[in-house]
Structure 1
Amino acid sequence: MSDPHILTPEQQLAEAKQRLHLPRIVVICGSTRFTAEMNEADLRETKAGRIVVKPCGDTKSPHGLFSDPVEAEALKTRLGDLHRAKILLADEVLVVGGYIGDSTRAEIAYARSLGKPVRFTHPEVDPAV
C-alpha cells in the first residue's frame, strides 16, 4: 500500500514552484505559421506577469540546422520532446492561431491529460468543442 503523504514528481514540482513564489508559467503552442502571433502573445502574457515559454522557432523555414534531412528529423523529434517537457513544466497552455494541426492537437491532448488548463486565442478551434 502506498503512503498517502508521498507526492508524485508533478505534485513536488507544483509545491516547489509555490514555495519559490514563481509567477504562473504559460507555454505557447500552435503552428509555427503563427510565429508573429506567438510573439504578440508572449508580450501580452509577460506584461500580465507570467513566465512564457514557447516553441524555439520555425522548423519549416530554411536553416542550416535543418539542411540534412536525417539530422533534421532527429532534431524535430528532440524539439517535440522538449516542447512536451515545457508543457509538463507549465501551469497552463495558450494555443495561438486559427488552425490546429496534428502536432498541436497532440500537445493539447497531452496538456489536458496532465490536467493543465488550455486557453485559445481562437476558441473556435478547440478540438474539444
Structure 2
Amino acid sequence: MTDTPAPPRPPIVVLCGSTRFWDQFADAALYETAAGRIVLAPGCNLREPHPLWDTPEKAEQLKRILDDLHLRKIDAADDVLIVNPGGYIGDSTRREIAYARSLGKPIRYTHPTPDHP
C-alpha cells in the first residue's frame, strides 16, 4: 500500500453582507461551491420569523452570538466575498470588512461599489 499525499485543501471563502439579500447569498454560495471553494455563510436570517428569535430579547442575544460567530468565520476563511447587490454595504458589513482587512484577508465584491469598482 502506497501512501499518497492528501490533495490540498480547497480555499475557504466567507460570505458577508446584509441578510436582506438572502437569495443572493444562496446564489453566491452556489457559484463559489461550483468553483471548488468551501463556503462559510450566515446560518440564520433574523429577518424571517422563527421561534429561536421570536422576542426582542431572544433576537438581541442571538444577534450578539451571530456577530461574533461571523468574525470567527472570517478568521477561518482564506478570503472574503461581500454580497452587495446595488453596491449596498451596511454598518455590520463595514465592520466585517474592517476586521477582514485587519487580518490581511483578500476581499472581493459581488457588485461594484464607489470604493471598489
Q: After TM superposition, is the score higher than 0.5? A: yes
Pairwise CA distance, 1:47: 0.5
| Structure 2 CA distance for partners of 1:125 and 1:75, relative to 1, 3 Å | farther
Matching residue's letter, 1:49: G
- The structure 2 residue matched to 1:116, chosen from 100, 105, 112, is 105
Distance (Å, rounded) in 2 between the aligned partners of 1:123 and 1:21: 31
Identity %: 56
User: Is 1:74 matched with 2:61?
Assistant: yes
Q: Secondary structure at the match of 2:67?
A: helix
Q: 1:96 corresponds to which residue?
A: 83
| Structure 2 CA distance for partners of 1:81 and 1:20, relative to 1, 3 Å | farther
Matching residue's letter, 1:120: Y
Distance (Å, rounded) in 1 between the aligned partners of 2:93 and 2:28: 16
TM-score (norm 2): 0.87
Distance (Å, rounded) in 1 between the aligned partners of 2:114 and 2:12: 23
- The structure 2 residue matched to 1:25, chosen from 12, 16, 32, is 12
Matching residue's letter, 1:109: A
Pairwise CA distance, 1:76: 0.6
Distance (Å, rounded) in 1 between the aligned partners of 2:53 and 2:15: 23
Q: 1:83 corresponds to which residue?
A: 70
Which one has the bigger helix percentage?
1
Distance (Å, rounded) in 2 between the aligned partners of 1:33 and 1:106: 17
Unaligned runs of 5+ in 2: 1-5
Q: 1:4 corresponds to which residue?
A: none
Pairwise CA distance, 1:20: 7.3
Unaligned runs of 5+ in 1: 1-18
CA-based RMSD = 1.7
Q: How does 1:33-72 map to 2 (within 5 A)?
A: 33-72=20-59
